Structure 1
Amino acid sequence: MSQGVTTAKPAVDSRVFTEGMRVLWVAIRAEPWVFAVAVAGASLHAAVNVASASVLGGITERVILPAFEQGRTTTAALVAAVALMMAVGVLKGLGLGARRLYAGLMQYRMQARHRRAVARKYLELPLSWHQRHPAGQLLSNANSDVEAAWQPLAPLPMAVGSVVMLVIAAAAMLVTDPVLAVVGFVVFPALGVANVVFQRRVTPAATRAQTLRSQVSEVAHESFDGALVVKTLGREDTETERFTRAAHRLRDAQIRVGRMRAAFDPLLEALPNLGVLAVLLIGVVRLADSAISTGDLVQIAYLFTLLALPVRALGWVLGDLPRSVVGWKRVSAVLDAKGGTDHGEAVLTGEDGLRVSAHGVAFSYADAYTGEPADDSGSGRDLDGSHHEEGGARTTVLRDVDLELAPGRVTALVGPTGAGKSTLTTLLVRLVDPEEGTVLVNGVDAREYAPGELSNATALVPQGTFIFDDSVRDNITLGADIDDDAVWAALRLARAESFVAALPESLDTRLGERGASLSGGQRQRLALARALVRSPRLLVLDDATSAVDPQVEAQILGGLREADLEGATVLVVAYRRATIELADEVVYLEQGTVRDRGTHAELLERSPGYHRLVTAYEQAAEQRAADTAARTTDQEAIR
């Protein structure tokens, strides 16, 4: 289940601060007014905080000290002191509220915007791209990576306000007493050094932790998705151990980051407090020399106590930057992914079936991984979270395929396992584009049609049936405005009407995750009804009735012939001889190319490979009968 990865350790990125600022600038450009209001609130809070030191110093000088000296004070002085403190409190509350509200608004807007952008990009990217990226990683990109990218936005306005506070506080201290200000300013170079050391140490750890978070999501998704296999083969303990190993790697990585932050945060707390102690020690000496007043000393000491929080806010932003940069890189890798489906402006005309043809079509799958030796993570990804890009090695599936599907006709596509039948169906409905050759729809290159033109006119029912955890009705309509009469007509055509009518709430019955309450054949018939309700002009059934018994399958295919589908073009990937015999034409595909085409009878006569394939079951049955007869004869001879 694991794939190879490189063993290289993530290098310390000395540019993490610059890259982090670029990420934050993306958010500021996207939400300039929200950011401006948040910063204005933070600046108001910061300015009032600094002003509160002057207020406190003034109250000390004019109210508290005279009260001690005279043994009394006036009502006016007390009222003025209380009014000033209340005004400070109200203004601080307004600034704090604006900062928190709009900082959160900015963060959540950016997360929502990029989750939508990632999801939209997933829908634009071709099926071949999704085949190279596990679902767990895609979930991680849209969730934890987006969240990590914009995590610093919450403390960012506070950090900007902190810079404002530091500037105002520095000016106020210099004006009050330059000597004490210079003593206190020794703290700031120490804080800068601490931040640089922290960034260099935490960046690789944060990178690995973010990558391992994605890997845990992948393992969990794979285990839950394969729950039936795990349980039927009794592999619960193995899967539990596999998830445990991934979870423990993530735990250890996060603990390592936590330890670094645990050492960094107390240092941020301690340095301003050490500055306060230095100011008080030297301030007492200067107070004794009458160089400053008591109020000045109280004001400067209080300003330094205020500096602890802004310094911490700067630390929060700087501490979140490494994870933010990693998350943004992983999100950007999705948003910048190439291979989106190109479209033109052509429009489908008419209402009858589509004439579809393939000319010289070739297609190959890129190797998903390059096969480097595995590290202890057991993942198929580099430690920055990106998958290895495919190299030169590719597996060719189709080569020089020519095919013609006519309106109003049923064509059976037959071939051995691995011949490329399913791949060809995805090309014909343009889930992927051919590497060579062209697919024409009504004589026009499929790539020239406008978005939605082909998808609205075609329907593919694949081998694997997906049922949503929703009602029968919503599983068939998928949110489209389709009335119940049309839904029942599609169910009737798919031979699903009787079992749906027998469900507890009929069309309103919830089917559970992946339709767990239904049999395989029932799920296939619902998927077929989902396609038929849209009256497709091209209907492709990729072994879509394999779980249905032959009698019901014959009824379904017979019903398709009799139904009024506006002469729809039908392609059936078939294995059963009874199904093949219902087709107007048979196309025999072998080793990625069309070997022969014609009626079932014609191919039986002239194509040895086709003959062996479609008569394999009959030959096996004849062989079993002959073996049984031989054993019976031997037993009678012994008696």
Structure 2
Amino acid sequence: MASGTSRDVLGRGLAVLGRAIGEQPRIFAVAVSGSVLFSVMVVGSAFVIGTVVGDVVVPAIERGAVGVGGLALAAAVLLGISVLRVVGIFGRRLGAGYMQYRLQADYRRRVTRRYLELPLSWHHRNATGTLLSNANSDVEAAWQPIAPLPFAVGTLVMLVGAVASLFATDWALALVGLAVFPALFALNVAYSRRMAPRQARAQLLRAEVSGIAHESFDGALVVKTMGREAQETDRFAARAGQLRDALISVGRLRGIFDPMLETLPSLGTLAVLVVGAYRLQQGAISVAELVSVAFLFTVLAFPVRAIGWVLAELPRSVAGWDRVRKVLDATGEMPYGSTRLDPAVDAPATLSFTDVAFAYEPAEAHLPGIEVLGEVTFTVPAGKTVALVGPTGSGKSTVASLAVRLVDPRAGTVRLDGVDVRELAADSLAGTLALVAQVPFVLDDTVRANVSLDRAGVDDEAVWAALRLAEADGFVAALPDGLDTMVGERGTSLSGGQRQRLTLARALAGRPRLLVLDDATSAVDPRVEAAILAGLRSPAAGGPGASILVVAYRRTTIALADEVIYLEQGRVIARGTHPTLLATVPGYANLVTAYEQAEVDHERQQTYDEVIPLPPTLEVDR
């Protein structure tokens, strides 16, 4: 089984290398040409040195005089060979490096592009740390053997030339070479077989360590507030320890095989000298031929290692490539259509749901999906505001995601201005609607960059207009550098309400015709929230006059809506105006009353804190 697995790794590894050569044939040709030139010069230099020793040095010793002309010619030939070897090394290394880094950059882009194409349901099943590892260390591992590959190809040419030269020189010396070279290959194959599972495990553990680290960093606030620093440290240390042990196992195996790979060519050289001396005494070979063959074995010791480097990296390359290919071959992408809504139309858009059903895909393929929505039908008329209300888990956020096509329905149709959103071109869809998510995400950049996102036409004037609509212009103007203020990672220098208003301004800067607010003002004061929603509905106040779908729980927000959709367990239970539902739907009335009571209790607590402030020490603790 192990042997079959290792042969499979060898075959798959060679297939990965073949793919690399197929994608970068010209660069590979340059690198191999340099390597072949170097190899030919190495073999040639061995026979030149043998000739110099046999025809120049030995006669000079016998005569007791040195021929200047012969030495000058020998020096010129050796210098020429050295120059060509340098040219070969330069071409080989430059080509191999360029090929390797170009492939890594290209596949990082491919993996990242694939991430953007795959739906949220796929991302929900894969940890962020693993995805980072796929795009970084796995891509790097997949193309790691490219660096020594041209050298190894040149070395094969060198070995063929060396064996041919040995047979041309003496059959006995050729038999020594035929014994040493296969032994080197056999040793490298044995090395590859034992290294394969170790490299695969190490690559998997790299991804797991990256995933745990990302979770800890991303959830730093939760970790610290819950006092879980020690537990998270232990969790990370345990997996990091496993990675350390796996890498030590890799290093230990290299420590065993590397000396053997170094020793075997040296033993070959010793065997050549012993056999060569005997053949020299028999008169079968000359001094020049013995020196040439001995020198050839000496200089072959290092290049032959290049083959071992390639074979040693193949297991890690296969492990990395399998993980990269898993991303590239992932299915579930949401292709866009080619239909475009009229860009000249500046009127609010109409959104309609017709018998929409949705189920989240399970983490494992054999498990059933989690049904979230079923037969949801409603319309957001042009220029109107519709509020989605329902208990936790009723599917409100899923409706918001479907409205902006972050996910596609399992059944039914979502239409924008009468067109199925699946038929719309990506730029037309993005230019027509905007989503402000429940959890605001602020980039580690300036206020200007967070609002404009480098979109064409969103200048400072448009940025300030969006900030005014989001009731954010006041606090932005008070910042030390205004629009140029750096807000920190995830907006750490801003309050929760300020982050929400900043992300709302980002959506408004694009002048959407449909605005989807997924509880996007929950951290904002109710009076400010009412002012924001009123401004959004009024073109006279500078608002876009867009249609609005808002996931809401505050009575003040719900009361501003033209229509309320009440959801329970993923189905529309009732629809109508807020007063009508309050009077006719007990579940709706109980939910809104509970929300309102929680809001009143919160405001009372704020008033109490203002009237009777806590002592400084308790205030800090609280």
Equivalent position amino acid for 2:573 in 1: R
Alignment CA distance shift 1:77-1:433 (3 Å): same
Task: Indicate conservation of the 8 Å contact 1:10/1:204, yes or no.
Answer: no
Equivalent position amino acid for 2:398 in 1: T
Counterpart position of 1:288:
281
Output the CA distance in 1 between the equivalents of 2:452 and 2:170: 76
Task: Indicate conservation of the 8 Å contact 1:118/1:335, yes or no.
Answer: yes
Once the two structures are TM-superposed, the CA of residue 14 in structure 1 deviates from its matched residue by 2.6
Alignment CA distance shift 1:598-1:13 (3 Å): farther
Counterpart position of 1:548:
524
Counterpart position of 1:99:
92
Once the two structures are TM-superposed, the CA of residue 621 in structure 1 deviates from its matched residue by 8.8
Output the CA distance in 2 between the equivalents of 1:621 and 1:110: 56
- Pairing of 1:550-589 with structure 2 (within 5 A): 550-563=526-539, 564-589=542-567
Counterpart position of 2:114:
121
SS at match of 1:546: coil
1:39 aligns with 2:32: yes
Task: Indicate conservation of the 8 Å contact 1:536/1:565, yes or no.
Answer: no
Task: Indicate conservation of the 8 Å contact 2:537/2:545, yes or no.
Answer: no
Deviations 1:379-428 (A, max 9, x none): xxxxxxxxxx4323221111111111111011111111111100110001
SS at match of 1:343: coil
Pick one of 339, 351, 370 that aligns with 2:346: 351
- Pairing of 1:78-477 with structure 2 (within 5 A): 78-349=71-342, 350-368=345-363, 389-477=364-452
Pick one of 448, 462, 466 that aligns with 1:490: 466
Alignment CA distance shift 1:622-1:252 (3 Å): closer
Deviations 1:202-244 (A, max 9, x none): 1111111110000000000000000111111221111111111
1:478 aligns with 2:473: no
Once the two structures are TM-superposed, the CA of residue 451 in structure 1 deviates from its matched residue by 2.4
Counterpart position of 1:381:
none
Counterpart position of 1:535:
511
Alignment CA distance shift 1:60-1:279 (3 Å): same
Once the two structures are TM-superposed, the CA of residue 11 in structure 1 deviates from its matched residue by 8.8
Pick one of 43, 48, 52 that aligns with 2:45: 52
Task: Indicate conservation of the 8 Å contact 1:575/1:614, yes or no.
Answer: yes
Once the two structures are TM-superposed, the CA of residue 285 in structure 1 deviates from its matched residue by 1.0
Task: Indicate conservation of the 8 Å contact 2:445/2:487, yes or no.
Answer: yes
Task: Indicate conservation of the 8 Å contact 1:184/1:278, yes or no.
Answer: no
Equivalent position amino acid for 1:490 in 2: A
Once the two structures are TM-superposed, the CA of residue 366 in structure 1 deviates from its matched residue by 2.5
Alignment CA distance shift 1:15-1:623 (3 Å): closer
Once the two structures are TM-superposed, the CA of residue 12 in structure 1 deviates from its matched residue by 3.3
Deviations 1:496-532 (A, max 9, x none): 1011111111111111111111111100000000000
Once the two structures are TM-superposed, the CA of residue 618 in structure 1 deviates from its matched residue by 4.7
Alignment CA distance shift 1:556-1:523 (3 Å): same
SS at match of 2:515: strand
Once the two structures are TM-superposed, the CA of residue 262 in structure 1 deviates from its matched residue by 1.8
Counterpart position of 1:630:
none
SS at match of 1:15: helix
- Pairing of 1:618-633 with structure 2 (within 5 A): 618=596
Task: Indicate conservation of the 8 Å contact 2:110/2:328, yes or no.
Answer: yes
Output the CA distance in 2 between the equivalents of 1:278 and 1:10: 32
Output the CA distance in 2 between the equivalents of 1:281 and 1:616: 97
TM-score, reference length from structure 1: 0.91
Output the CA distance in 1 between the equivalents of 2:504 and 2:126: 28
TM-score, reference length from structure 2: 0.94
Output the CA distance in 2 between the equivalents of 1:530 and 1:515: 14
1:507 aligns with 2:483: yes
SS at match of 1:452: helix
Once the two structures are TM-superposed, the CA of residue 443 in structure 1 deviates from its matched residue by 1.3
Alignment CA distance shift 1:278-1:101 (3 Å): same
> Unaligned regions of 5+ residues in structure 2, if any?
603-622
Alignment CA distance shift 1:236-1:91 (3 Å): same
Q: Which moved more, 1:552-561 or 1:137-146?
A: 552-561
Output the CA distance in 1 between the equivalents of 2:7 and 2:510: 56
Counterpart position of 2:61:
68
Output the CA distance in 2 between the equivalents of 1:453 and 1:367: 31
Output the CA distance in 2 between the equivalents of 1:223 and 1:366: 26
Once the two structures are TM-superposed, the CA of residue 298 in structure 1 deviates from its matched residue by 0.6
Once the two structures are TM-superposed, the CA of residue 620 in structure 1 deviates from its matched residue by 6.6
Output the CA distance in 1 between the equivalents of 2:6 and 2:278: 46
Output the CA distance in 1 between the equivalents of 2:193 and 2:278: 40
SS at match of 1:402: strand
Counterpart position of 2:619:
none
- Pairing of 1:4-15 with structure 2 (within 5 A): 12-15=5-8
Once the two structures are TM-superposed, the CA of residue 559 in structure 1 deviates from its matched residue by 1.3
Q: Which moved more, 1:563-572 or 1:72-81?
A: 563-572
Output the CA distance in 2 between the equivalents of 1:64 and 1:428: 88
Alignment CA distance shift 1:308-1:10 (3 Å): closer
Output the CA distance in 2 between the equivalents of 1:265 and 1:533: 62
Output the CA distance in 1 between the equivalents of 2:525 and 2:292: 88
Output the CA distance in 2 between the equivalents of 1:10 and 1:227: 46
Alignment CA distance shift 1:223-1:299 (3 Å): same
Deviations 1:571-597 (A, max 9, x none): 111111111111111111111011111
Output the CA distance in 2 between the equivalents of 1:118 and 1:621: 45
SS at match of 1:299: helix
Alignment CA distance shift 1:190-1:463 (3 Å): same
Once the two structures are TM-superposed, the CA of residue 192 in structure 1 deviates from its matched residue by 2.7
Counterpart position of 1:371:
none
1:603 aligns with 2:596: no
Structure with more contact order per residue of length (Cα contacts < 8 Å, sep ≥ 6)? 1
Output the CA distance in 2 between the equivalents of 1:606 and 1:223: 47
Output the CA distance in 2 between the equivalents of 1:225 and 1:438: 36
Alignment CA distance shift 1:37-1:220 (3 Å): same
Once the two structures are TM-superposed, the CA of residue 246 in structure 1 deviates from its matched residue by 1.1
Output the CA distance in 2 between the equivalents of 1:130 and 1:338: 12
Output the CA distance in 1 between the equivalents of 2:258 and 2:381: 72
Alignment CA distance shift 1:118-1:618 (3 Å): closer
Counterpart position of 2:494:
518
Alignment CA distance shift 1:205-1:342 (3 Å): same
Output the CA distance in 2 between the equivalents of 1:522 and 1:286: 90
Equivalent position amino acid for 2:407 in 1: V
SS at match of 1:455: helix
Output the CA distance in 2 between the equivalents of 1:255 and 1:216: 16
SS at match of 1:495: coil
